[in-house]
Amino acid sequence: MSYDFIACARTLEESDLLSWKTQDIDEASPQEEEKLRKFLEQVLSIFPAVEEDGLSSEFWSYTPELEAGRASLVLYVSYSEASSFLHEVVRIGRELQVSIFDPQTSRIYRPDGFSGLTLEVENQASYIAPTKSQIREAVQGLSAKDGPSLLFMEEKGSSDYSQVAGGDGAFTLEWREHVGDNFKHYVAGLKSGNKNEEVKIFTNGYHVKVKGNERLGVVETVALLTAFAESRTRPNEYEWRDITHKFL
């Protein structure tokens, strides 16, 4: 059984949903064909199609080959090797501006995302180096009715993260940051709104209680996650309630 990836040298639509419909269009430009050729050369230099004894490598279910006029290339990898292959092929794709499609998980790993970040959505495959559009689509896809309703964004090599709970337009966002060996943990809130009342943010099968001004919409949630991705700095235009004591 093979695990199939698709490498695409074409400039994609901003939306992942639209990109799935256009990644296999023919009539590649010479620049796209050359980009894909260099990509395949680098991939095969790390994962050779032929072993030293001259036999075909068991890594590949089928040896990858370029097709004239196409800006995409299917990579048929042995299922057991898919996980280790993914990180290498995403790295090469970032270097050469090639996007990697994973039909098994419906994820697209784009070369222009936020490097060093992982975006995890409850019970779904992770985004590696997500783009702003992917962050927005992930938030819009959260639902308290049938899930997923939890989202987690983490910086590689760091214990800093931002997490979201909720769905269907109502969310709460928490932000953890470290200074040395210590950390602070905050709940994000709007400058306006009732800070004295308590409201429920519903998740799939549960709920979280927050202050009235801490119920966020899609726009605010995406803006805060994007701020984490871009600078790892909490925006001053929001209130930040310190709840560190709950984790000590």
Domain-wise residue ranges, the chain? 2-109, 117-247
d(CA 184, CA 241): 10
Adjacent-strand bridge partners of 161 = 154, 176
Number of neighbouring beta carbons within 10 Å of residue 229: 22
Query: Are residues 4 and 68 in contact, defined by beta-carbon separation less than 8 angstroms?
Result: no
pLDDT at 28: 87
Burial 83-95 (b: 16+ CB within 10 A, else e): eebbeebbbbbbe
d(CA 165, CA 61): 40
Give the burial class of 149: count Cβ atoms within 10 A of its Cβ; 0-12 exposed, 13-18 middle, 19 or more buried.
buried
Is domain 2-109 in CATH 3.30.70, yes or no?
Answer: yes
pLDDT at 20: 87
Phi, psi of 153 (to 5 degrees): -120, 130
d(CA 27, CA 201): 49
Burial 109-141 (b: 16+ CB within 10 A, else e): bbbebbeebbbbbeebeebbbbbbbbbbbbbee
Residues of the chain predicted below pLDDT 70: 23-26, 54
pLDDT at 24: 66
pLDDT at 213: 98
pLDDT at 180: 86
pLDDT of 68-102, one tens digit each? 888 899 999 998 889 889 999 999 999 999 999 99
3-class state of residue 190 by DSSP: coil
**Residue 15 tokens, joined:** 């939306």
CA atoms within 13 A on the CB side of 167: 20
3-class state of residue 73 by DSSP: strand
